[in-house]
């Protein structure tokens, strides 16, 4: 006697799932497309973890549900049409919509740079999915909806191919190859030497004249009169035009591209003629172009006239499919289930709406305005476009349909003393670490954020401008960009050997940051708000930059990977020593009282002589530094706080210039970081190692004297 197998899931639930699984899958897939197209632009304007989590989960689930639904349709083809199945013609019509969904919205093709590197895998996925949908379509023939199904299949294939093409173009290796210029062998040395030797043998007087290479405008260069404008405000359209020009050149920063002296001089000349507000506004647009090229379909659609034509063809196919289905399904029999009919209309109307929104974002974008100015294909109609004031119209509509800001405009703050004074649930940390989310939990709980002050932007711009003027020659500029506080200290008298050594090459970068962070905090709380405005401004700036560098070093280890050293170990050991020290107090400590308690500790002996090198804690090394700085503040408060703020800026610049370009590119998808703006501004001022092609005697000419 056979025993019936025990069924865990009741049969009625299984039947219900079989009846509704495809309907649910396609509707969820459509919903995810709407979530993505309306939320993905927020991630470059906000560093909100919750928003990024929604986008990340929607991005992953969108592909899964679309592929899952294609599999359901393929496996259900040919089944008898009853309550548990959908009409073959209708399910075949649904399949191409899933290709559209797999193609994704124009506002996101990749969640991170790593997704772009998988373009080859994605191309294989395109091939498999297109074959699967094509199989479904062929199996359904003869099909009363074969015309709209065929049109949707073509539209879906175009959309899916667009996404794969976008991933290919944004792949860092392909991006680097696209920036590589044609090989330049230089003057024909062998031929020149033959002529030189022949003329010498004939007794003809001759000289080799070295003609300097002209300082030509870089590719797509800026107008030469830009420097003559003075520090005047650029119009919004001009700002976009210039930003696009420099984006075409400086996108190479992401892949460690080398730049010529022409490009360096052009950029320096332009930025010397701007002020801080203009420069930061300009870089916002430039970084926006970088974001679009790396994470959206903008570069694909605007990559030649073919991309634009395909986009309008795809839009036309969607509208025609909707019209044909609406006009034909009522005449056809057998009767279509009302829910399935409603679902089909939702898919059709949803596809048209999604495409319309994407088209709207494409037309009224920075890319449209830039290409009206720079595209060679539009050169004949460019005067007509300007006469009709089309760029101004595009910009006006863009301002109405887009959010006003292009990046988060805030900076995070992380303070070691505050972190050590907070009560922590150790079990919670252990649980978070077990599930691998400790870093994420700490990012949510501990850092604070504040809006980026315009005064701080001005301070950064003015100081970098001064350094750039000192670094006229590219070789000298490399020395300036490598400074991490030591250059600033040379300009101030009275600095002790401890202060000088704390930012010297003998001390690792992360060690300097950690010591100066604690010392700055101690000095900050030793003084109340001062009536001297100049002194107070630099005191606050030092505190802000100090907390920001600590946030980058500890909470953004991937961004600071090349300069972080053993920062995490030093931070943990220092925190542990600080907690142990603060636990000796009978009263609850504040940041101010904790700093006072630290500076009162006698430090006649160097900590390393007491503890050895087993512990990497720098707590009392920082206290020794703080005592020297406090002594300087007591004597010359204004000069010392100014010096400290400039040291912090140099430390920030060093971190910015020594981070990998792809690390900065990752940050522009998460609301942006101030350090990325500093990195880009330094490059525009010609401060960096990427300017290795010097001006010189580029061409030689043989002159025979008469």
Pick from 502, 508, 482, 511: nearest CA to 644? 502
Confidence of residue 704 (pLDDT cuts 50, 70, 90): low
Q: What is the pLDDT of residue 701?
A: 62
Q: Are 683 and 250 in contact (CB under 8 A)?
A: yes
Q: In the predicted model, what is the mean pLDDT of residues 474-482?
A: 71
Q: Is the pLDDT of residue 2 over 50?
A: no
The radius of gyration of the chain from alpha carbons, rounded to an integer in Å, stands at: 32
User: 210 - beta bridge partners?
Assistant: 700
Give the pLDDT confidence score for residue 209 in this predicted structure.
60
pLDDT average, residue stretch 252-256: 91
Q: Supply the pLDDT for residue 498.
A: 92
- Average pLDDT over every residue of 205-221: 54
Model confidence pLDDT, tens digit, residues 11-42? 887 778 888 889 999 999 999 999 999 999 88
Residue 91 has pLDDT above 90, yes or no: no
Coil/strand/helix, residue 138 = helix
Q: Which of 155-169, 508-522, 532-546 has the lowest mean pLDDT?
A: 532-546
User: Cα–Cα distance between 616 and 126 in angstroms, integer?
Assistant: 52
Sign of the torsion formed by the C-alpha atoms of 132, 138, 143 and 148: positive
Check residue 696 and give its pLDDT: 47
CB contact at 8 A, 231 and 273 = yes
pLDDT of residue 703: 65
Out of 217-221, 290-294, 585-589, pick the least confident: 217-221
pLDDT at residue 217 tops 50: no
Instruction: Supply the pLDDT for residue 158.
Output: 94
pLDDT surpasses 50 at 218: no
Q: Are 646 and 675 contacting, i.e. CB atoms less than 8 angstroms apart?
A: no
pLDDT tens per residue, range 40-51: 988 988 878 888
Average of pLDDT values for 633-638?
Answer: 88
- The Cα–Cα gap between 344 and 338 comes to 10
- Residue 231 in this model has a pLDDT that exceeds 70: no
Q: Which residues pair with 448 in a beta bridge?
A: 413
How many residues belong to the chain?
706
pLDDT of the residue at 613: 73
Distance between CA 684 and CA 72 in Å, rounded?
53
The lowest-confidence range among 311-320, 348-357, 360-369, 472-481 is 472-481
Where do the DSSP E strands lie in 513-569? none
Euclidean distance between CA atoms 464 and 421, whole angstroms: 36
Whether the CB-CB separation of 621 and 578 falls below 8 Å is answered with no
Q: What is the mean pLDDT of the chain?
A: 84
| Long-range contacts from 343-349, C-beta under 8 angstroms, 24+ separation | 343/23, 343/26, 343/27, 343/94, 344/90, 344/93, 344/94, 346/27, 346/30, 347/26, 347/30, 347/94, 347/97, 348/318, 348/321, 348/322, 349/322
Distance of CA 480 to the CA centre of its chain: 26
């Amino acid at each position: 006697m056979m025993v019936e197998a025990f069924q865990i899931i009741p049969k009625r639930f299984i039947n219900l799932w079989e009846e509704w699984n495809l309907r649910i899958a396609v509707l969820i897939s459509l919903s995810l497309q709407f979530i993505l197209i309306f939320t993905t632009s927020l991630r470059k304007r906000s560093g909100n973890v919750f928003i990024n989590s929604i986008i990340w989960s929607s991005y992953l689930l969108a592909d899964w549900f679309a592929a899952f639904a294609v599999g359901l349709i393929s496996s259900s083809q040919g089944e008898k049409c009853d309550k548990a199945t959908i009409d073959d013609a209708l399910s075949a019509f649904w399949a191409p919509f899933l290709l559209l969904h797999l193609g994704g919205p124009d506002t996101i093709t990749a969640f991170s740079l790593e997704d772009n590197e998988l373009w080859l895998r994605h191309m294989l996925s395109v091939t498999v999915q297109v074959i699967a949908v094509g199989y479904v379509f062929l199996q359904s023939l003869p099909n009363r909806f074969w015309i709209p199904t065929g049109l949707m299949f073509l539209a879906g294939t175009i959309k899916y191919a667009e996404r794969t093409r976008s991933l290919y173009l944004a792949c860092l290796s392909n991006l680097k190859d696209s920036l590589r210029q044609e090989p330049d062998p230089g003057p024909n040395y062998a031929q020149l030497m033959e002529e030189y030797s022949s003329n010498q043998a004939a007794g003809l007087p001759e000289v080799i004249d070295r003609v300097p290479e002209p300082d030509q405008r870089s590719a797509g260069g800026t107008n030469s009169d830009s420097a003559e404008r003075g520090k005047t405000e650029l119009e919004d359209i001009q700002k976009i035009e210039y930003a696009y020009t420099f984006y075409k050149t400086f996108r190479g920063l992401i892949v460690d591209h080398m730049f010529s002296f022409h490009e360096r001089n052009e950029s320096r000349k332009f930025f010397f003629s701007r002020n801080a507000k203009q420069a930061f506004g300009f870089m916002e647009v430039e970084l926006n172009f970088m974001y679009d090229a790396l994470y959206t379909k903008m570069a694909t659609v605007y990559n030649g006239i073919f991309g634009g034509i395909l986009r309008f063809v795809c839009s036309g196919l969607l509208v025609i499919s909707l019209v044909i289905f609406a006009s034909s399904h009522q005449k056809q029999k057998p009767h279509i289930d009302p829910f399935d009919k409603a679902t089909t209309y939702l898919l059709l109307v949803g596809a048209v709406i999604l495409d319309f929104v994407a088209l709207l974002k494409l037309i009224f974008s920075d890319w449209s305005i830039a290409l009206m100015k720079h595209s060679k294909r539009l050169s004949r109609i460019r005067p007509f476009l300007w006469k009709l004031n089309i760029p101004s119209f595009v910009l006006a509509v863009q301002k109405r349909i887009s959010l006003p800001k292009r990046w988060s405009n805030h900076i995070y703050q992380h303070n070691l003393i505050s972190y050590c004074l907070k009560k922590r649930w150790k079990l919670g940390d252990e649980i978070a670490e077990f599930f691998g989310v400790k870093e994420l939990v700490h990012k949510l709980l501990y850092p604070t954020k504040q809006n980026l002050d315009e005064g701080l932007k001005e301070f950064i711009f003015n100081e970098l401008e001064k350094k750039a003027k000192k670094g006229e020659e590219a070789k000298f500029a490399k020395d300036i960009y490598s400074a991490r506080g030591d250059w600033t200290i040379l300009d101030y008298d009275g600095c002790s050997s401890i202060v000088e050594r704390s930012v010297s090459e003998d001390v690792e970068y992360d060690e300097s940051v950690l010591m100066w962070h604690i010392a700055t905090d101690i000095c900050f709380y030793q003084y109340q708000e001062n009536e001297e405005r100049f002194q107070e401004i630099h005191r606050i700036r030092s505190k802000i930059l100090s907390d920001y560098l600590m946030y980058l070093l500890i909470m953004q280890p991937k961004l600071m990977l090349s300069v972080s050293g053993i920062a995490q170990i030093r931070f943990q050991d220092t925190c542990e020593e600080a907690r142990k020290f603060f636990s000796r107090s009978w009263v609850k400590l504040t940041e101010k009282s904790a700093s006072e308690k630290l500076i009162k500790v006698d430090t006649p002996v160097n900590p390393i002589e007491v503890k050895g090198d087993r512990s990497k804690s720098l707590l009392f090394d920082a206290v020794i530094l703080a005592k020297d700085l406090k002594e300087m503040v007591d004597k010359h408060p204004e000069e010392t706080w100014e010096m400290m703020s400039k040291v912090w800026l140099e430390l920030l610049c060093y971190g910015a210039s020594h981070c990998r370009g792809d690390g900065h590119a990752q940050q522009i998808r998460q609301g942006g970081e101030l350090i990325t703006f500093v990195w880009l501004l330094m490059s525009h001022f010609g401060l960096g190692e990427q300017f290795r092609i010097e001006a010189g005697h580029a061409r030689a000419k043989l002159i025979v004297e008469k």
